[in-house]
């Protein structure tokens, strides 16, 4: 396949959807962003990904699992932490609620690598906020 293995790994580590949020990618240069998007389009052309609005999702869960298996286990936690913080850092304060579950899930998957007390407290606060949001959504729907 002509599809970039690293990009598939990154998409796989994000779970079912690989959100292409311009705010979450602010710090990357324009050339890299164009390269990422062209690789995503190539993956869509090859049937590995499907584009839905501004999101890219794997065409099949087995493709996501296969791509994720390409990431060495000892690198997965670091990758999840990096993705989680990238999502949070690249999102405006008023939009945090929109990405909270995804960001917290990513950070939780790498929590065993978070050793600094202030970072662990910050993660606990994010989990509390996500839990409160989940409870309010459950209350609203019942």
The dihedral built from the CA positions of residue 32, 38, 44 and 47, taken in this order, carries a sign that is negative
Query: Rounded distance, CA 142 to CA 139, Å?
Result: 5
Q: Is the pLDDT of residue 122 over 70?
A: yes
- Report the pLDDT value the prediction gives residue 97, as an integer from 0 to 100: 87
CA atoms within 13 A on the CB side of 14: 20
Express each pLDDT in 31-75 by its tens digit: 445 556 677 888 889 999 898 887 788 899 999 899 889 889 999
User: Strand order in 55-58's β-sheet?
Assistant: 17-19, 55-58, 49-52
- Report the pLDDT value the prediction gives residue 60, as an integer from 0 to 100: 92
- pLDDT band at residue 14, thresholds of 50, 70 and 90? low
Query: Rounded distance, CA 136 to CA 102, Å?
Result: 17
Q: Is the pLDDT of residue 127 over 90?
A: yes
Express each pLDDT in 79-113 by its tens digit: 999 888 988 888 888 888 888 999 999 999 999 99
- Report the pLDDT value the prediction gives residue 28, as an integer from 0 to 100: 41
Non-local CB neighbours of 65 within 8 Å, separated by 6+ positions: 12
- Report the pLDDT value the prediction gives residue 25, as an integer from 0 to 100: 42
Residue 124 burial (CB count, 10 A): 11
- pLDDT band at residue 9, thresholds of 50, 70 and 90? low
Query: Rounded distance, CA 27 to CA 14, Å?
Result: 19
- pLDDT band at residue 4, thresholds of 50, 70 and 90? very low
């Amino acid at each position: 396949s002509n599809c970039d293995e690293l990009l598939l790994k990154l998409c796989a580590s994000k779970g079912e959807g690989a959100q292409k949020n311009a705010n979450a990618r602010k710090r990357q240069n324009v050339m890299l962003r164009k390269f990422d998007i062209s690789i995503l389009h190539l993956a869509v052309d090859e049937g590995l990904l499907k584009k839905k609005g501004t999101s890219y999702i794997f065409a099949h869960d087995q493709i996501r699992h296969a791509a994720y298996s390409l990431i060495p286990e000892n690198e997965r936690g670091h990758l999840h932490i990096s993705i989680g913080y990238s999502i949070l850092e690249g999102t405006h304060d008023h939009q945090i609620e929109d990405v909270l579950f995804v960001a917290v899930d990513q950070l939780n998957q790498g929590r065993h690598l978070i050793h600094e007390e202030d970072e662990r407290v910050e993660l606990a606060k994010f989990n509390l906020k996500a839990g409160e949001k989940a409870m309010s959504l459950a209350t609203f729907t019942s």
